[in-house]
Structure 1
Amino acid sequence: MVELTFEFQDGSGTRRGSERIVDLVIAGWTGRDPHKVQEHIDELAALGIAPPASTPCFYRAGVEMPTTATRIDCLGDESSGEAEYVLLVAADGSWWVGLGSDHTDRKVESYSIPVSKQMCPKPVAPVLWRFDEVAPHWDSLEIRSWVEEGGERVLYQQGSVAAMLDPRETVAAYARLGSRSGQALAPGSLMFGGTLPVIGGLRPRRVFAMELHDPVLGRRITHRYEARWLPG
Protein backbone atom coordinates (compact mmCIF):
# COMPACT_ATOMS: atom_id res chain seq x y z
CA MET A 1 0.00 0.00 0.00
CA VAL A 2 0.99 3.67 -0.34
CA GLU A 3 0.07 6.58 1.90
CA LEU A 4 -0.81 9.93 0.31
CA THR A 5 -1.31 13.28 2.02
CA PHE A 6 -4.18 15.51 0.93
CA GLU A 7 -5.97 18.70 1.87
CA PHE A 8 -9.54 17.62 2.58
CA GLN A 9 -11.91 20.51 1.83
CA ASP A 10 -15.54 20.66 2.88
CA GLY A 11 -18.05 23.08 4.32
CA SER A 12 -16.39 22.98 7.72
CA GLY A 13 -13.01 24.08 6.36
CA THR A 14 -9.77 22.44 5.29
CA ARG A 15 -7.83 19.78 7.09
CA ARG A 16 -4.62 18.06 6.12
CA GLY A 17 -4.43 14.31 6.48
CA SER A 18 -3.15 11.07 5.01
CA GLU A 19 -4.96 8.10 3.56
CA ARG A 20 -3.61 4.65 2.80
CA ILE A 21 -4.34 3.55 -0.76
CA VAL A 22 -4.93 -0.18 -0.80
CA ASP A 23 -6.55 -0.52 -4.22
CA LEU A 24 -6.20 1.44 -7.48
CA VAL A 25 -8.91 1.08 -10.12
CA ILE A 26 -8.87 2.84 -13.48
CA ALA A 27 -12.30 3.00 -15.08
CA GLY A 28 -12.38 3.14 -18.85
CA TRP A 29 -14.94 3.81 -21.55
CA THR A 30 -17.25 5.54 -19.07
CA GLY A 31 -18.89 7.99 -21.46
CA ARG A 32 -22.64 8.57 -21.14
CA ASP A 33 -23.07 9.36 -24.82
CA PRO A 34 -22.45 6.27 -26.96
CA HIS A 35 -21.37 8.51 -29.82
CA LYS A 36 -18.68 10.07 -27.65
CA VAL A 37 -17.59 6.63 -26.49
CA GLN A 38 -17.25 5.68 -30.13
CA GLU A 39 -15.23 8.84 -30.72
CA HIS A 40 -12.76 7.72 -28.07
CA ILE A 41 -12.73 4.20 -29.51
CA ASP A 42 -11.88 5.68 -32.91
CA GLU A 43 -9.22 7.90 -31.32
CA LEU A 44 -7.47 4.89 -29.87
CA ALA A 45 -8.12 2.70 -32.91
CA ALA A 46 -6.06 5.20 -34.91
CA LEU A 47 -3.17 4.17 -32.67
CA GLY A 48 -3.89 0.47 -33.17
CA ILE A 49 -5.59 0.00 -29.79
CA ALA A 50 -8.43 -2.54 -29.70
CA PRO A 51 -11.63 -1.61 -27.81
CA PRO A 52 -12.85 -3.62 -24.81
CA ALA A 53 -15.50 -6.31 -25.12
CA SER A 54 -17.97 -4.23 -23.08
CA THR A 55 -18.21 -0.81 -21.44
CA PRO A 56 -17.52 0.49 -18.91
CA CYS A 57 -14.49 -1.60 -18.09
CA PHE A 58 -12.02 -1.52 -15.23
CA TYR A 59 -8.26 -1.92 -15.08
CA ARG A 60 -6.40 -2.78 -11.90
CA ALA A 61 -3.05 -1.12 -11.26
CA GLY A 62 -0.43 -1.26 -8.55
CA VAL A 63 -1.15 0.80 -5.45
CA GLU A 64 2.33 2.31 -5.64
CA MET A 65 1.38 4.14 -8.86
CA PRO A 66 -0.56 7.17 -7.47
CA THR A 67 1.60 10.15 -6.51
CA THR A 68 1.13 13.82 -5.65
CA ALA A 69 4.65 14.61 -6.89
CA THR A 70 5.18 17.23 -9.58
CA ARG A 71 7.87 15.16 -11.31
CA ILE A 72 7.57 11.57 -12.44
CA ASP A 73 9.89 9.15 -14.26
CA CYS A 74 8.73 7.19 -17.31
CA LEU A 75 10.70 4.78 -19.46
CA GLY A 76 10.96 5.96 -23.06
CA ASP A 77 9.41 8.97 -24.77
CA GLU A 78 5.94 7.70 -25.73
CA SER A 79 3.84 8.70 -22.72
CA SER A 80 1.26 11.40 -22.06
CA GLY A 81 -1.39 12.35 -19.52
CA GLU A 82 -5.20 12.24 -19.45
CA ALA A 83 -7.10 14.40 -16.97
CA GLU A 84 -9.81 12.61 -14.99
CA TYR A 85 -11.80 13.09 -11.83
CA VAL A 86 -10.74 10.64 -9.13
CA LEU A 87 -12.82 9.20 -6.32
CA LEU A 88 -11.24 8.27 -3.00
CA VAL A 89 -13.07 6.14 -0.49
CA ALA A 90 -11.53 7.17 2.82
CA ALA A 91 -10.86 4.84 5.72
CA ASP A 92 -14.11 5.95 7.38
CA GLY A 93 -16.08 5.13 4.22
CA SER A 94 -16.65 8.75 3.14
CA TRP A 95 -16.29 9.65 -0.54
CA TRP A 96 -13.93 12.38 -1.74
CA VAL A 97 -13.48 13.79 -5.24
CA GLY A 98 -10.21 14.98 -6.71
CA LEU A 99 -8.22 15.28 -9.91
CA GLY A 100 -5.75 12.89 -11.49
CA SER A 101 -3.91 12.04 -14.68
CA ASP A 102 -3.93 8.55 -16.12
CA HIS A 103 -0.43 9.02 -17.52
CA THR A 104 -0.01 6.21 -20.05
CA ASP A 105 2.64 4.80 -22.36
CA ARG A 106 1.00 5.12 -25.77
CA LYS A 107 3.32 2.66 -27.50
CA VAL A 108 2.60 -0.09 -24.97
CA GLU A 109 -1.10 0.83 -25.00
CA SER A 110 -1.22 -0.09 -28.69
CA TYR A 111 -0.71 -3.76 -27.84
CA SER A 112 -1.91 -4.05 -24.21
CA ILE A 113 -3.98 -1.53 -22.28
CA PRO A 114 -3.61 -3.40 -18.95
CA VAL A 115 0.19 -3.46 -19.29
CA SER A 116 0.27 0.22 -20.26
CA LYS A 117 -1.54 1.09 -17.01
CA GLN A 118 1.43 -0.30 -15.09
CA MET A 119 4.10 1.59 -17.03
CA CYS A 120 3.80 5.10 -15.58
CA PRO A 121 3.06 6.78 -12.23
CA LYS A 122 -0.44 8.26 -11.88
CA PRO A 123 -0.24 11.91 -10.71
CA VAL A 124 -3.06 13.16 -8.50
CA ALA A 125 -3.64 16.66 -7.14
CA PRO A 126 -3.14 16.94 -3.35
CA VAL A 127 -6.63 18.41 -2.78
CA LEU A 128 -9.97 16.62 -2.33
CA TRP A 129 -13.59 17.79 -2.03
CA ARG A 130 -16.27 15.96 -0.08
CA PHE A 131 -18.43 14.18 -2.64
CA ASP A 132 -21.69 14.91 -0.83
CA GLU A 133 -21.11 18.65 -1.38
CA VAL A 134 -20.69 18.38 -5.15
CA ALA A 135 -23.15 15.54 -5.81
CA PRO A 136 -26.21 17.87 -6.12
CA HIS A 137 -24.54 19.78 -8.97
CA TRP A 138 -22.18 17.07 -10.20
CA ASP A 139 -22.79 17.65 -13.91
CA SER A 140 -21.64 21.27 -13.57
CA LEU A 141 -18.06 20.25 -12.79
CA GLU A 142 -15.58 20.93 -15.59
CA ILE A 143 -12.25 19.36 -16.50
CA ARG A 144 -9.49 20.98 -18.53
CA SER A 145 -5.93 20.01 -19.34
CA TRP A 146 -3.01 21.56 -21.16
CA VAL A 147 0.29 20.38 -22.62
CA GLU A 148 3.41 22.28 -23.60
CA GLU A 149 4.22 22.44 -27.29
CA GLY A 150 6.99 24.60 -28.68
CA GLY A 151 7.31 26.36 -25.35
CA GLU A 152 3.62 27.33 -25.30
CA ARG A 153 0.70 26.10 -23.22
CA VAL A 154 -1.84 24.39 -25.48
CA LEU A 155 -5.37 23.31 -24.51
CA TYR A 156 -5.49 19.51 -24.64
CA GLN A 157 -8.86 18.56 -23.10
CA GLN A 158 -11.97 20.50 -22.12
CA GLY A 159 -15.44 19.49 -21.07
CA SER A 160 -17.92 18.65 -18.35
CA VAL A 161 -17.91 15.54 -16.17
CA ALA A 162 -21.46 15.13 -17.51
CA ALA A 163 -19.76 13.50 -20.50
CA MET A 164 -18.95 10.55 -18.21
CA LEU A 165 -21.15 8.31 -16.13
CA ASP A 166 -22.07 9.65 -12.72
CA PRO A 167 -19.49 8.22 -10.27
CA ARG A 168 -22.26 6.42 -8.39
CA GLU A 169 -23.13 4.57 -11.59
CA THR A 170 -19.49 3.77 -12.26
CA VAL A 171 -18.99 2.43 -8.74
CA ALA A 172 -22.18 0.40 -9.07
CA ALA A 173 -20.92 -1.12 -12.33
CA TYR A 174 -17.66 -2.03 -10.62
CA ALA A 175 -19.57 -3.55 -7.70
CA ARG A 176 -21.56 -5.72 -10.09
CA LEU A 177 -18.29 -7.09 -11.45
CA GLY A 178 -17.07 -7.41 -7.88
CA SER A 179 -19.91 -9.73 -7.03
CA ARG A 180 -18.31 -12.19 -9.43
CA SER A 181 -14.64 -11.44 -8.79
CA GLY A 182 -14.71 -10.75 -5.06
CA GLN A 183 -13.73 -7.10 -5.52
CA ALA A 184 -15.60 -3.96 -4.49
CA LEU A 185 -14.74 -0.29 -4.01
CA ALA A 186 -13.83 -0.57 -0.34
CA PRO A 187 -12.23 2.00 2.01
CA GLY A 188 -8.75 2.83 0.82
CA SER A 189 -9.76 2.56 -2.85
CA LEU A 190 -8.83 5.20 -5.41
CA MET A 191 -10.74 5.14 -8.70
CA PHE A 192 -10.01 7.11 -11.86
CA GLY A 193 -13.38 7.92 -13.40
CA GLY A 194 -12.69 8.17 -17.13
CA THR A 195 -11.45 10.84 -19.48
CA LEU A 196 -12.52 13.29 -22.17
CA PRO A 197 -11.53 13.26 -25.85
CA VAL A 198 -8.24 14.95 -26.66
CA ILE A 199 -8.10 18.07 -28.82
CA GLY A 200 -5.83 17.34 -31.76
CA GLY A 201 -5.33 13.65 -30.99
CA LEU A 202 -3.34 11.68 -28.43
CA ARG A 203 0.36 12.48 -28.51
CA PRO A 204 3.32 12.06 -26.16
CA ARG A 205 4.04 15.15 -24.06
CA ARG A 206 6.24 15.61 -21.00
CA VAL A 207 4.55 18.60 -19.33
CA PHE A 208 0.91 18.26 -18.29
CA ALA A 209 -1.37 20.66 -16.40
CA MET A 210 -4.96 19.98 -15.36
CA GLU A 211 -7.90 21.56 -13.59
CA LEU A 212 -11.17 20.51 -11.98
CA HIS A 213 -13.52 23.50 -11.78
CA ASP A 214 -16.64 23.77 -9.65
CA PRO A 215 -18.50 26.84 -10.98
CA VAL A 216 -21.32 26.46 -8.46
CA LEU A 217 -19.15 26.69 -5.34
CA GLY A 218 -16.52 28.81 -7.12
CA ARG A 219 -13.42 26.69 -6.56
CA ARG A 220 -10.79 24.80 -8.51
CA ILE A 221 -8.35 21.96 -8.05
CA THR A 222 -5.24 22.37 -10.17
CA HIS A 223 -2.09 20.33 -10.65
CA ARG A 224 0.92 20.43 -12.96
CA TYR A 225 3.65 17.87 -13.38
CA GLU A 226 6.54 17.04 -15.66
CA ALA A 227 7.62 13.60 -16.83
CA ARG A 228 11.29 12.75 -17.11
CA TRP A 229 11.65 10.40 -20.05
CA LEU A 230 14.31 7.85 -19.20
CA PRO A 231 16.35 6.40 -22.08
CA GLY A 232 15.29 2.91 -23.05
Structure 2
Amino acid sequence: MREPIGFRCVTAAGIHQVAFRPRDLVIAGLTGRDQAAVQHHVEELRAIGVTPPPSIPAFFRNGTDLLTTASAVEVLGPDSSGEVEFVLVSMADGLWVGVGSDHTDRRVEAYAIDVSKQLCPKVMAPLLWRFADVAPHWDQLVLRAWIEEAGRLTLYQQGTAAALRPPEPLIAAWTGGAPLPEGTVMFGGTFAAIGGIRPSVGFEFELEDPILRRVIRHGYTVRSLPLT
Protein backbone atom coordinates (compact mmCIF):
# COMPACT_ATOMS: atom_id res chain seq x y z
CA MET A 1 0.00 0.00 0.00
CA ARG A 2 1.40 3.36 -1.02
CA GLU A 3 2.32 6.06 1.46
CA PRO A 4 -0.20 8.88 1.99
CA ILE A 5 0.14 12.24 0.26
CA GLY A 6 0.21 15.35 2.40
CA PHE A 7 -2.27 18.03 1.30
CA ARG A 8 -3.10 21.42 2.80
CA CYS A 9 -6.88 21.83 2.51
CA VAL A 10 -8.23 25.39 2.41
CA THR A 11 -11.67 26.33 3.74
CA ALA A 12 -13.29 29.54 4.98
CA ALA A 13 -12.29 28.45 8.49
CA GLY A 14 -8.61 28.16 7.63
CA ILE A 15 -6.12 25.54 6.45
CA HIS A 16 -5.80 22.01 7.79
CA GLN A 17 -3.31 19.29 6.92
CA VAL A 18 -4.54 15.97 5.55
CA ALA A 19 -2.66 12.70 5.00
CA PHE A 20 -4.53 11.31 2.00
CA ARG A 21 -4.08 7.75 0.80
CA PRO A 22 -5.35 7.46 -2.81
CA ARG A 23 -7.15 4.28 -3.84
CA ASP A 24 -7.67 5.02 -7.54
CA LEU A 25 -6.19 7.36 -10.12
CA VAL A 26 -8.21 8.24 -13.23
CA ILE A 27 -6.92 10.40 -16.08
CA ALA A 28 -9.70 11.92 -18.21
CA GLY A 29 -9.03 12.92 -21.82
CA LEU A 30 -10.91 14.53 -24.70
CA THR A 31 -12.89 16.55 -22.18
CA GLY A 32 -13.50 19.71 -24.20
CA ARG A 33 -17.05 21.07 -24.23
CA ASP A 34 -16.84 21.90 -27.94
CA GLN A 35 -17.61 18.45 -29.31
CA ALA A 36 -16.87 19.46 -32.91
CA ALA A 37 -13.36 20.47 -31.87
CA VAL A 38 -12.92 17.25 -29.91
CA GLN A 39 -13.99 15.17 -32.90
CA HIS A 40 -11.63 17.14 -35.14
CA HIS A 41 -8.78 16.26 -32.76
CA VAL A 42 -9.80 12.60 -32.90
CA GLU A 43 -9.54 12.69 -36.70
CA GLU A 44 -6.13 14.35 -36.41
CA LEU A 45 -4.98 11.45 -34.24
CA ARG A 46 -6.22 8.94 -36.78
CA ALA A 47 -4.43 10.81 -39.57
CA ILE A 48 -1.06 10.38 -37.87
CA GLY A 49 -1.64 6.73 -37.05
CA VAL A 50 -2.80 7.07 -33.44
CA THR A 51 -5.78 4.92 -32.54
CA PRO A 52 -8.22 7.19 -30.67
CA PRO A 53 -9.76 6.05 -27.38
CA PRO A 54 -13.01 4.08 -27.69
CA SER A 55 -15.08 6.68 -25.80
CA ILE A 56 -15.43 10.45 -25.46
CA PRO A 57 -14.54 11.56 -22.89
CA ALA A 58 -11.84 8.95 -22.47
CA PHE A 59 -10.74 7.57 -19.11
CA PHE A 60 -7.41 5.92 -18.31
CA ARG A 61 -6.64 4.04 -15.10
CA ASN A 62 -3.18 4.66 -13.68
CA GLY A 63 -1.36 3.36 -10.63
CA THR A 64 -1.66 5.60 -7.58
CA ASP A 65 2.08 5.31 -7.04
CA LEU A 66 2.47 7.81 -9.91
CA LEU A 67 0.89 10.59 -7.85
CA THR A 68 3.39 12.97 -6.30
CA THR A 69 3.78 16.53 -5.05
CA ALA A 70 7.53 16.44 -5.72
CA SER A 71 9.39 19.36 -7.26
CA ALA A 72 11.62 17.08 -9.36
CA VAL A 73 10.81 13.99 -11.42
CA GLU A 74 12.69 11.50 -13.59
CA VAL A 75 11.48 10.16 -16.93
CA LEU A 76 12.89 7.79 -19.53
CA GLY A 77 14.15 9.52 -22.65
CA PRO A 78 13.64 13.03 -24.03
CA ASP A 79 10.09 12.71 -25.39
CA SER A 80 7.81 13.46 -22.45
CA SER A 81 5.99 16.65 -21.50
CA GLY A 82 3.57 17.99 -18.94
CA GLU A 83 0.08 19.44 -19.27
CA VAL A 84 -1.92 21.43 -16.75
CA GLU A 85 -5.25 19.99 -15.53
CA PHE A 86 -7.71 20.57 -12.73
CA VAL A 87 -7.70 17.62 -10.33
CA LEU A 88 -10.65 16.30 -8.32
CA VAL A 89 -9.92 14.54 -5.04
CA SER A 90 -12.67 12.65 -3.22
CA MET A 91 -12.17 12.49 0.53
CA ALA A 92 -14.33 11.35 3.43
CA ASP A 93 -15.53 14.93 3.96
CA GLY A 94 -16.42 15.56 0.32
CA LEU A 95 -14.94 16.68 -2.98
CA TRP A 96 -11.85 18.85 -3.26
CA VAL A 97 -10.17 20.46 -6.26
CA GLY A 98 -6.54 21.11 -7.00
CA VAL A 99 -4.21 21.37 -9.97
CA GLY A 100 -1.74 18.95 -11.49
CA SER A 101 0.29 17.95 -14.51
CA ASP A 102 -0.50 14.80 -16.49
CA HIS A 103 3.10 14.24 -17.56
CA THR A 104 3.06 11.88 -20.55
CA ASP A 105 5.53 10.01 -22.75
CA ARG A 106 4.72 11.38 -26.22
CA ARG A 107 6.76 8.81 -28.14
CA VAL A 108 4.75 5.96 -26.63
CA GLU A 109 1.51 7.95 -26.88
CA ALA A 110 1.78 7.70 -30.68
CA TYR A 111 0.94 3.99 -30.53
CA ALA A 112 -0.47 3.31 -27.02
CA ILE A 113 -2.13 6.19 -25.18
CA ASP A 114 -2.99 4.14 -22.11
CA VAL A 115 0.60 2.90 -21.73
CA SER A 116 2.03 6.41 -22.22
CA LYS A 117 -0.04 7.69 -19.29
CA GLN A 118 1.35 5.01 -16.98
CA LEU A 119 5.00 5.73 -17.77
CA CYS A 120 5.35 9.16 -16.14
CA PRO A 121 4.68 10.76 -12.74
CA LYS A 122 1.48 12.74 -12.22
CA VAL A 123 2.53 15.83 -10.30
CA MET A 124 0.06 17.72 -8.10
CA ALA A 125 0.32 20.92 -6.10
CA PRO A 126 0.06 20.13 -2.36
CA LEU A 127 -2.87 22.54 -1.85
CA LEU A 128 -6.59 21.86 -2.32
CA TRP A 129 -9.77 23.96 -2.28
CA ARG A 130 -13.16 22.65 -1.24
CA PHE A 131 -15.12 22.10 -4.45
CA ALA A 132 -18.30 23.61 -3.00
CA ASP A 133 -16.46 26.92 -2.52
CA VAL A 134 -15.62 27.25 -6.24
CA ALA A 135 -18.59 25.45 -7.82
CA PRO A 136 -20.75 28.63 -8.13
CA HIS A 137 -18.12 30.29 -10.34
CA TRP A 138 -16.40 27.18 -11.73
CA ASP A 139 -16.28 28.38 -15.35
CA GLN A 140 -14.25 31.44 -14.35
CA LEU A 141 -11.36 29.43 -12.92
CA VAL A 142 -8.18 29.82 -14.99
CA LEU A 143 -5.56 27.17 -15.73
CA ARG A 144 -2.06 28.14 -16.89
CA ALA A 145 1.24 26.40 -17.51
CA TRP A 146 4.74 27.54 -18.38
CA ILE A 147 7.77 25.66 -19.66
CA GLU A 148 11.41 26.54 -19.28
CA GLU A 149 13.01 27.44 -22.61
CA ALA A 150 16.41 29.04 -23.07
CA GLY A 151 16.61 29.72 -19.35
CA ARG A 152 13.30 31.54 -19.05
CA LEU A 153 9.64 30.65 -18.51
CA THR A 154 7.40 30.66 -21.60
CA LEU A 155 3.61 30.55 -21.43
CA TYR A 156 2.66 27.07 -22.65
CA GLN A 157 -1.07 26.66 -21.90
CA GLN A 158 -3.86 28.95 -20.79
CA GLY A 159 -7.63 28.69 -20.63
CA THR A 160 -10.67 28.78 -18.40
CA ALA A 161 -12.56 25.84 -16.95
CA ALA A 162 -15.44 26.85 -19.24
CA ALA A 163 -13.60 25.13 -22.12
CA LEU A 164 -13.63 21.77 -20.32
CA ARG A 165 -16.42 19.50 -19.09
CA PRO A 166 -17.58 20.50 -15.60
CA PRO A 167 -16.77 18.11 -12.75
CA GLU A 168 -20.28 16.75 -12.18
CA PRO A 169 -20.93 15.42 -15.72
CA LEU A 170 -17.31 14.30 -16.04
CA ILE A 171 -17.61 12.26 -12.86
CA ALA A 172 -20.98 10.90 -13.97
CA ALA A 173 -19.50 9.76 -17.28
CA TRP A 174 -16.92 7.74 -15.34
CA THR A 175 -19.11 6.36 -12.57
CA GLY A 176 -22.40 5.95 -14.43
CA GLY A 177 -24.02 8.71 -12.41
CA ALA A 178 -22.67 7.96 -8.94
CA PRO A 179 -20.47 10.36 -6.92
CA LEU A 180 -16.72 10.05 -7.25
CA PRO A 181 -15.77 7.19 -4.91
CA GLU A 182 -13.87 8.15 -1.79
CA GLY A 183 -10.13 7.86 -2.32
CA THR A 184 -10.33 8.56 -6.07
CA VAL A 185 -8.21 11.20 -7.79
CA MET A 186 -9.38 12.34 -11.22
CA PHE A 187 -7.43 14.55 -13.64
CA GLY A 188 -9.91 16.58 -15.68
CA GLY A 189 -8.35 17.16 -19.10
CA THR A 190 -6.47 20.05 -20.66
CA PHE A 191 -6.07 22.58 -23.49
CA ALA A 192 -3.88 22.74 -26.57
CA ALA A 193 -0.28 23.80 -26.08
CA ILE A 194 0.68 27.26 -27.30
CA GLY A 195 3.23 26.66 -30.05
CA GLY A 196 2.75 22.89 -29.99
CA ILE A 197 3.55 20.07 -27.58
CA ARG A 198 7.23 19.92 -26.66
CA PRO A 199 9.45 18.77 -23.79
CA SER A 200 11.19 21.04 -21.32
CA VAL A 201 13.48 20.77 -18.32
CA GLY A 202 11.05 22.72 -16.15
CA PHE A 203 7.25 22.89 -15.94
CA GLU A 204 5.16 25.26 -13.81
CA PHE A 205 1.39 25.32 -13.52
CA GLU A 206 -1.37 27.10 -11.65
CA LEU A 207 -5.09 27.25 -10.95
CA GLU A 208 -6.39 30.79 -10.42
CA ASP A 209 -9.68 31.70 -8.76
CA PRO A 210 -10.30 35.31 -9.86
CA ILE A 211 -13.47 35.58 -7.78
CA LEU A 212 -11.99 34.60 -4.41
CA ARG A 213 -8.63 36.07 -5.49
CA ARG A 214 -6.37 33.13 -4.81
CA VAL A 215 -3.99 30.88 -6.73
CA ILE A 216 -2.60 27.37 -6.40
CA ARG A 217 0.79 27.13 -8.09
CA HIS A 218 3.41 24.42 -8.30
CA GLY A 219 6.33 23.42 -10.49
CA TYR A 220 8.87 20.71 -11.08
CA THR A 221 12.09 20.01 -12.93
CA VAL A 222 12.45 17.09 -15.31
CA ARG A 223 15.49 14.82 -15.47
CA SER A 224 15.51 12.72 -18.64
CA LEU A 225 17.26 9.39 -18.15
CA PRO A 226 19.18 8.20 -21.23
CA LEU A 227 17.72 5.45 -23.38
CA THR A 228 19.98 2.40 -23.68
TM-score by length of 2: 0.94
What secondary structure is seen at the aligned counterpart in 1 of 2:50?
coil
How far does residue 46 in structure 1 lie from its aligned partner after superposition? 7.1
Distance, in Å, in 1 between the alignment partners of 2:161 and 2:180 is 20
Whether contact under 8 Å (1:41, 1:51) holds in the other structure is yes
Whether contact under 8 Å (1:93, 1:187) holds in the other structure is no
Deviation digits for residues 116-154 of structure 1 (CA, Å, limit 9, x no counterpart): 011111100000000000000000100000001111211
Match of 1:225 in 2: 220
Letter in 2 for 1:80: S
What secondary structure is seen at the aligned counterpart in 1 of 2:182?
coil
CA, structure 1 residues 65+76, in 2 after alignment: closer, same or farther (shift >3 Å)?
A: same
What secondary structure is seen at the aligned counterpart in 2 of 1:205?
coil
Is 2:185 the counterpart of 1:185? no
Distance, in Å, in 2 between the alignment partners of 1:71 and 1:154 is 19
1:113-128 paired onto structure 2 within 5 Å: 113-128=113-128
Whether contact under 8 Å (1:2, 1:22) holds in the other structure is no
Aligned length: 226
Match of 2:157 in 1: 157
Is 2:204 the counterpart of 1:209? yes
How far does residue 3 in structure 1 lie from its aligned partner after superposition? 1.1
Whether contact under 8 Å (2:84, 2:100) holds in the other structure is yes
Structure 2 residue runs of 5 or longer lacking an equivalent are none
How far does residue 230 in structure 1 lie from its aligned partner after superposition? 0.6
Is 2:2 the counterpart of 1:5? no
Is 2:12 the counterpart of 1:17? no
Is 2:83 the counterpart of 1:88? no
How far does residue 206 in structure 1 lie from its aligned partner after superposition? 2.3
Whether contact under 8 Å (1:27, 1:56) holds in the other structure is yes
Deviating beyond 6 angstroms after TM superposition, the runs of 4 or more aligned structure 1 residues are none
Letter in 1 for 2:88: L
Is 2:199 the counterpart of 1:198? no
1:66-77 paired onto structure 2 within 5 Å: 66-77=67-78
Distance, in Å, in 2 between the alignment partners of 1:221 and 1:134 is 13
Letter in 1 for 2:186: M
Match of 2:138 in 1: 138
Distance, in Å, in 1 between the alignment partners of 2:42 and 2:33 is 14
Distance, in Å, in 1 between the alignment partners of 2:67 and 2:48 is 26
Whether contact under 8 Å (2:171, 2:177) holds in the other structure is no
CA, structure 1 residues 64+187, in 2 after alignment: closer, same or farther (shift >3 Å)?
A: same
How far does residue 93 in structure 1 lie from its aligned partner after superposition? 4.6
Match of 1:181 in 2: none
Distance, in Å, in 1 between the alignment partners of 2:14 and 2:205 is 24
Letter in 2 for 1:75: L
TM-score by length of 1: 0.92
CA RMSD between the two structures: 1.7
Letter in 2 for 1:144: R
What secondary structure is seen at the aligned counterpart in 2 of 1:221?
strand
Distance, in Å, in 2 between the alignment partners of 1:197 and 1:187 is 30
Distance, in Å, in 1 between the alignment partners of 2:15 and 2:87 is 19
Distance, in Å, in 2 between the alignment partners of 1:164 and 1:185 is 18
How many percent identity over aligned positions? Answer: 50
How far does residue 54 in structure 1 lie from its aligned partner after superposition? 2.4
Letter in 2 for 1:6: F
What secondary structure is seen at the aligned counterpart in 1 of 2:118?
coil
What secondary structure is seen at the aligned counterpart in 1 of 2:120?
coil
Distance, in Å, in 1 between the alignment partners of 2:43 and 2:158 is 18
Whether contact under 8 Å (1:43, 1:201) holds in the other structure is no
Letter in 1 for 2:24: D
How far does residue 185 in structure 1 lie from its aligned partner after superposition? 3.1
Structure 1 residue runs of 5 or longer lacking an equivalent are 179-183
